[in-house]
Amino acid sequence: MDGMNYLTIAYLGMIVGIAVWTWTVVTRSKSIEARLEAVEASVGVSASEADSVAKEVDA
């Protein structure tokens, strides 16, 4: 196989990898944020920023 073909395969793989990774992280962030806002609004509770597992250690 020609060197340019290897180059194309390598960069296409990396571009797809970077795109999928970034898309997954950004959509996951937006989805969780929307779910949290919806749940907090419907229940009328605002969750604190504190980490519950770390609080468990402190207790």
Both structure tokens of 57: 């250690």
Sequence-distant (≥ 6) Cβ neighbours of residue 56 within 8 angstroms:
none
Residue from 4, 27, 8, 26 nearest 16 by CA: 8
At closest approach, how far in Å is the CB of 17 from other proteins? 6
At closest approach, how far in Å is the CB of 46 from other proteins? 9
Chain residues in the site for other proteins (CB under 8 A): 1-4, 6-7, 9-11, 13-14, 17-18, 21-22, 25-26, 28-29, 32-33, 35-36, 39-40, 43, 45, 47-54, 56-58
